[in-house]
Amino acid sequence: MKLSYDQIDHTAAFFCCHIETDEPMKRHTTFQIGGPADRFYTVETSQQLAALLNALVQAEIPYLVLGKGSNLLVSDQGFRGAVLYLSGKFREVKSLGDGAIRAGAAASLASVCAFARDNGLSGLEFAWGIPGSVGGAVYMNAGAYGGEMKDVVKRVESLTPEGKTESFFGEALDFSYRRSRYTGKEEAVTFAEFQLEPSSGAQIAGKMEELMGRRKAKQPYDMPSAGSIFKRPEGAFAAALIEECGLKGLQVGGAQVSPKHAGFIVNTGGATCANVLALIEKVQETVLREKGISLECEVRVIG
């Protein structure tokens, strides 16, 4: 069934949102993979986002709220729905005083980490180098090197599919390993507040550079990927299991298990979604057969 975007386009135009038709999603994901989205709306304010969410729900049109696209694998056929690409106010980062920072969902983690460092606030060093946005990081409780979003996020603002603003604190955010109250739900994260601790800017910078050095030495930082592809199984590490099964460097089309870090699948050039999914399946089947452990995919597959 062909979806009608007339009313959505009218709403987007009324609220001065930029509209693209059949926009290739490979331009907007860190994997550099993905076919065209029916509509691609650039949204800069909460008012615009609320209006479009409400219109899309009324029209029963699927939608995807997008920041940096760092944990997404989009179908080669694209997305039959509307992408709401966050920009403008959603990229802003500001100080609230007393060690608190407020950041929009589309602000890159790099920009928030740099802001914290420049303001002598410690706690986000672990996130330096995670190639995602605040919204995506909250959605999946992103973490690395012993730190997680749950350690520093104190409050999150979001919009319901009907465009209602909500706010959640502390335990209500329901953070756990690679999950939050937003995981698998349709609420759109809009802003997050971080509570950090005063420290020396030089010490913070030193820690950030140390972790970045470790990241670059061990991970395929210079190649398109969606980050870590599998969740950590209980009592083991996905990358170690994959490497022990001799799967480093295994390739399907342009998709490859990184020779540098077996926990990553990289796009060596021209990889398709089908290539990546076939490679994921091969890895899962081999690890299950040889190690008796089921690897769960961490990346969101869209379309």
Which residues are designated catalytic? 178, 228, 298
Distance from C-alpha of 139 to C-alpha of 185, rounded to nearest angstrom: 9
Contacts 24+ apart (CB under 8 A), 275-280: 276/31, 276/33, 276/73, 276/252, 277/73, 277/301, 278/252, 278/253, 279/250, 279/251, 279/252, 279/255, 280/229
Residue by residue, DSSP assigns 15-40 as TT-EEEEEEEGGGSSTT----EEEEE
Number of helices followed by number of strands (H, E) in the chain: 7, 19
Give how far Cα 170 sits from Cα of 193, 206, 233, Å.
Answer: 11, 29, 26
Backbone angles phi, psi at 283, to 5 degrees: -65, -45
Rounded to the nearest angstrom, the gap between the alpha carbon of residue 56 and the centroid of all alpha carbons in its chain is 22
d(CA 127, CA 135): 13
Q: Quick count: other Cβ atoms within 10 Å of Cβ 57?
A: 15
**Measured on CA atoms in the order 51, 29, 230, 277, is the torsion positive or negative?**
positive
